[in-house]
Amino acid sequence: MRVAMYYNNRDVRIEDIPMPQIGPGELLVKVIASGICGSDVMEWYRLDRVPLVLGHEIAGEIVSIGKGVDRYKEGDRISASHHVPCNTCHYCLNNHHTVCDTLRRTNFDPGGFSEYLRLPAINVDRGVYLLPDEISFEDATFIEPVACVLRGQRLANLQPGQSVLILGSGIAGLLHIQIASALGAGRVVATDMIDYRLNVALRLGADAVIHAKEDVPGHLRQVNDGRLADLVIICTTATQAMKQALKSVDRGGTVLFFSPTDKGVTIPLSINDLLFRNDITLTSSYAGSPSDHMIALKMIRNGKVCVKDMITHRLGLNETGLGFQLVAEATESIKVIIEPHKQ
């Protein structure tokens, strides 16, 4: 079968590898659509493990079923989690599924940028989601990123009526805008360096936007009744954005570090001025739990999150390299979908 083999952001090759062979409890899935995630283009995180077949935002059809699988059948339309937790360790039992050791060891074989993939038995047991007719394969590629956003806002304890500042209006930031609004945020403000993305942020529900090169805290006060934000969500790897976040959060507020930085980045932090005197909470979020995926599926199905309008490019497997360049450049693209069987 054909796969898009990743060597770096400018070197993605179409190669042939053997079709995965499934065993007991496993599924073979024909990949119909697979989204390119911002994390897929983080070279510092990938280059020591290349070559790789990436792709974890997948949707497809079951084409073969391993012995002992009775919940699914050939032809079922599904999405699936590439990482799944054990559900029995200390972290899982304390609702921190995404730091479970098992979750970090599980994955697809080989990855979503391939014609077919094997779902290991543990993924079949706790990470497969049947798609209702109302959800297209393209829409289903958003289940995983929406799940990540839901978990982040839950950990940040977003409350109805709170003001939210979202730094970075890429795919994650745009999902945060929509979900914060759906969960009852009072005012949602977004930033970015690219005018195209600021316009998309307004179209998808932001109450106001601020160019990231401007005085973000000052402009925020102008559009937020003189106050800073109750919740600041960082959806960019830019160090400057993290400094902006600390200057833009109101007393008693929360900063959610949703995106990683480049390797080795640190920022100065005044414990007394920021934390001790002002009751600021700093928190982070990684991935989503199985329950987050189920909620994400329901929100997409019910139209609470408008995902279809976020797709800017639909490419065949042969064009995966172009897709990686578009996502890495982060200019006039939002969501890039790879369709491995597209002719």
Distance of CA 131 to the CA centre of its chain: 19
Beta strand 229-234 pairing with 163-167: parallel
Cβ atoms of 66 and 22 within 8 Å: the answer is: yes
Residue 101: how many other CB atoms lie within 10 Å:
12
CA separation, residue 245 to residues 159, 164, 206, 239, 254 (Å)? 19, 11, 18, 10, 10
pLDDT of residue 341: 97
Burial annotation 127-166 (CB, 10 A radius, 16+ → b, else e): bbbebeeebbbbbbbbbbbbbbbbbbbbbbebeeebbbbb
What does the domain layout of the chain look like in residue ranges?
Answer: 2-146+288-339, 157-284
Cβ atoms of 297 and 135 within 8 Å: the answer is: yes
Write the DSSP assignment of 84-115 as a string of letters.
---SSSHHHHTT-GGG-HHHHH---BS-SSBS
pLDDT of residue 83: 97
pLDDT of residue 271: 87
pLDDT of residue 270: 84
Q: What are phi and psi of 17, to 5 degrees?
A: -135, 165
Tell the CATH superfamily of the 157-284 domain: NAD(P)-binding Rossmann-like Domain (3.40.50.720)
> How do the pLDDT tens digits run along the chain, 343 residues long?
999 999 999 999 999 999 999 999 999 999 999 999 999 999 988 889 999 999 999 999 999 999 999 999 999 999 999 999 999 999 999 999 999 999 999 999 999 999 999 999 999 999 999 999 999 999 999 999 999 999 999 999 999 999 999 999 999 999 999 999 999 999 999 999 999 999 999 999 999 999 999 999 999 999 999 999 999 999 999 999 999 999 999 999 999 999 988 888 888 888 888 888 899 999 999 999 999 999 999 999 999 999 999 999 999 999 999 999 999 998 889 999 999 999 7
Pick the CATH number of 2-146+288-339 from 3.40.50.1820, 3.90.180.10, 3.30.70.20, 3.40.50.720: 3.90.180.10
* 3-class secondary structure, 272: helix
pLDDT of residue 267: 87
Q: Minimal CA–CA distance to 171: which of 142, 139, 207?
A: 142
Q: What is the model's pTM?
A: 0.96
